[in-house]
Amino acid sequence: MRYIFVLSLLLVSTFSWSADEKANGFVKTNSLGELTAWSSVQARWVSLDDFWANYSRNNKNRHWGTSTKYPDYAEVQEFDTFLVQTSSGTCLMEFFHTRWRRSNDVNRWDEKFNDYSGCANAFE
């Protein structure tokens, strides 16, 4: 009976890991040591920058490009995207519930996006 329990536990944990790995926005390190994200739209692993570009391109709302200055508040709409340029890189932002947020905070992709490029200090 104890062996069946251990085997069941092993199967469940293996299944859970496999299922999460193919979730949109799941991040892993590839064989070259680079971070890659699973893109369900493209059904393949892509760089985090390509993941953001693909998300912005397929988003039905406006993408405001890249800048150190946020777009004029009066002109943006819910779900617009924007790459904010910080001293440490860029971060994909999304206008959600009347303010700019990191797209990862809106979409709940892998937490590793929060520390990638300029996202750690996107609000400074």
- pLDDT of 121 above 90: yes
Could you tell me which of 93, 100, 94, 112 has the C-alpha nearest to residue 47?
Answer: 112
State residue 13's pLDDT score: 41
What does the pLDDT average to over 66-88? 96
Could you tell me the pLDDT band of residue 16, with boundaries at 50, 70 and 90? very low
Question: Given a cut of 90, is residue 15 above it in pLDDT?
Answer: no
| pLDDT attached to residue 124 | 84
Mean pLDDT across the stretch 59-67? 95
Separation of alpha carbons 37 and 22, rounded Å? 9
Q: SS3 letters for 90-118?
A: EEEEEEECCEEEEHHHHHCCCHHHHHCCC
Express each pLDDT in 105-116 by its tens digit: 999 999 999 999
Please give the residue that has the higher pLDDT: either 2 or 29.
29
Cα dihedral 34, 48, 41, 103 in deg (nearest 10): 150
Number of domains in the chain: 1
**Whether the Cβ atoms of residue 52 and residue 103 lie closer than 8 Å to each other:** yes
Whether the Cβ atoms of residue 58 and residue 41 lie closer than 8 Å to each other: yes
What pLDDT, in 10s, does the model give residues 34-60?
999 999 999 999 999 999 999 999 999
For residue 31, what are the domain limits? 2-121
